[in-house]
């Protein structure tokens, strides 16, 4: 029992010495030091629990010379090792960017997509043009990560590539583009984001809701009002849910109309529930009439449940 504890304490004390006491000069030496430290940095063993952070810091302290060795480790199949490389590159920061950019030209798409991920997390605008250069890559995984990275960096130069990716044939890439549009504040694509409510990919639909909440509220509401009666049931239903959250007078009027005359039971249910959330105390008098006229028992149950939930979250207005 004493031997592992003693070994652990010794390694903790020695970690800083890899950099401060024994400076690395030869390329082979740097590789050996990184390999030794990386085993600890990426370890899931309990005995190394207090050593992973110091090990990552020691590798990061090597700076740019460590980056080529870290990029090679992106070929790993281990999620823990992959995340460890990302975390170390984040700590190195901008000095890592030049080599990462050159790595975007590598033939191994797995490494390229992970390099994109790292560049997005670092957030240096020097990576924007190189990332734009591969935003149309043949591999959808690379398109996904490059567009996602451009969104994280937040440079407006990415606008055209993000708009194009909104129509990508792969759902995961469309989701990345939707998220990026919100991060970049792209008000000009609000209609396309509302259109994404009908996307076949669930992730793109839900990401569109989050993205719209980051954009100009007035412009978002204008498009939502116009889209409430969409012939696409999924679009109309999600629009209703969003309008319930905004709870403007016009939104309440539109929800009342959809709750009464929606094209499908699903549309009526979404609108009625959203109306209950927007006006839980029925100040407009709409809910009482809807409950009287709605023949679908399941919809009435959903309305009552939504009213109870909304009222529990709010205090009754003073009379």
Q: In this predicted model, what pLDDT tens digit does every residue of 301-316 receive, in sequence order? A: 999 999 999 888 876 5
Domain boundary among 75, 92, 109: 92
**Region class of 185: left (phi > 0), else alpha (psi between -120 and 50), else beta:** left
Q: Within a domain: residue 102?
A: no
Same domain, 57 and 17: yes
Q: In this predicted model, what pLDDT tens digit does every residue of 69-126 receive, in sequence order? A: 999 999 999 999 999 999 999 999 999 999 999 999 999 999 999 999 999 999 999 9
How far out from the chain centre does Cα 103 lie? 24
**Is the separation of the CB atoms in 143 and 137 below 8 Å?**
yes
Whole-angstrom Cα distance, residue 12 to residue 15? 6
Q: Is the pLDDT of residue 8 over 90?
A: no
Q: What is the DSSP letter of 16?
A: T
Whole-angstrom Cα distance, residue 266 to residue 259? 10
- Number of folded domains that form the chain: 3
Which of 42-46, 155-159, 265-269, 295-299 is most confident?
Answer: 155-159
Q: In this predicted model, what pLDDT tens digit does every residue of 135-161 receive, in sequence order? A: 999 999 999 999 999 999 999 999 999
Beta-sheet strands, E only, within 256-305 = none
Q: What is the DSSP letter of 214?
A: T
Domain that holds residue 132: 123-215
Instruction: Residue 131: count other Cβ atoms within 10 Å of its Cβ.
Output: 25
Same domain, 317 and 222: yes
Q: In this predicted structure, what is the pLDDT of residue 262?
A: 84
Can you count the helices (H) and strands (E) in the chain? 20, 0
Same domain, 134 and 169: yes
Confidence of residue 283 (pLDDT cuts 50, 70, 90): very high
How far out from the chain centre does Cα 82 lie? 18
24, with CB counted inside 10 A (0-12, 13-18, 19+), is middle
CA 212 → CA 148, 156, 181, 227, 251, distances in Å?
Answer: 17, 17, 9, 14, 16
Domain boundary among 193, 215, 237: 215
Round the CA-based radius of gyration of the chain to a whole number and report it: 26
Whole-angstrom Cα distance, residue 6 to residue 13? 11
Q: By mean pLDDT, which of 43-52, 88-97, 249-258 is the weakest?
A: 43-52
Rounded to the nearest integer, the mean pLDDT of the chain is 91
**Which phi and psi angles does 80 have, rounded to 5°?**
-65, -45
Residues listed for the chain: 319
The CATH number of whichever domain residue 199 belongs to comes to 1.25.10.10
Instruction: Residue 279: count other Cβ atoms within 10 Å of its Cβ.
Output: 21
Q: In this predicted model, what pLDDT tens digit does every residue of 88-103 receive, in sequence order? A: 999 999 999 999 999 9
Q: pTM score, two decimals?
A: 0.87
Q: In this predicted model, what pLDDT tens digit does every residue of 151-190 receive, in sequence order? A: 999 999 999 999 999 999 999 999 999 999 999 999 999 9
């Amino acid at each position: 029992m004493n031997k592992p504890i003693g070994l652990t304490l010794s390694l903790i004390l020695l970690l800083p010495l890899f950099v401060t006491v024994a400076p690395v000069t030869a390329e082979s030496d740097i590789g050996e030091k990184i390999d030794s430290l990386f085993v600890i940095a990426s370890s899931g063993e309990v005995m190394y629990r207090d050593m992973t952070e110091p090990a990552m810091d020691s590798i990061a302290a090597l700076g740019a010379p460590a980056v080529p060795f870290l990029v090679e480790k992106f070929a790993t199949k281990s999620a823990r090792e992959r995340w460890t490389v990302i975390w170390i590159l984040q700590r190195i920061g901008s000095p890592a960017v030049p080599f990462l950019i050159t790595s975007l030209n590598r033939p191994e798409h797995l490494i390229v997509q992970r390099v994109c991920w790292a560049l997005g997390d670092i957030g240096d605008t020097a990576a924007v043009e190189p990332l734009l250069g591969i935003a149309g890559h043949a591999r959808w995984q690379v398109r996904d990560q490059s567009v996602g990275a451009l969104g994280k960096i937040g440079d407006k130069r990415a606008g055209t590539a993000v708009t194009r990716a909104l129509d990508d044939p792969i759902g995961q890439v469309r989701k990345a583009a939707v998220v990026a549009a919100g991060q970049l504040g792209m008000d000009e694509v609000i209609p396309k984001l509302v259109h994404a409510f009908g996307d076949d990919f669930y992730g793109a639909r839900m990401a569109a809701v989050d993205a719209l909440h980051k954009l100009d509220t007035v412009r978002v509401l204008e498009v939502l009002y116009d889209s409430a009666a969409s012939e696409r049931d999924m679009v109309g239903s999600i629009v209703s849910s969003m309008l319930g959250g905004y709870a403007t007078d016009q939104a309440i009027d539109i929800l009342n109309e959809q709750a009464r005359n929606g094209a499908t039971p699903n549309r009526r249910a979404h609108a009625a529930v959203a109306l209950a959330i927007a006006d839980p105390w029925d100040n407009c008098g709409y809910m009482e009439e809807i409950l009287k006229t709605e023949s679908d028992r399941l919809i009435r149950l959903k309305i009552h449940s939504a009213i109870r939930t909304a009222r529990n979250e709010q205090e009754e207005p003073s009379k």
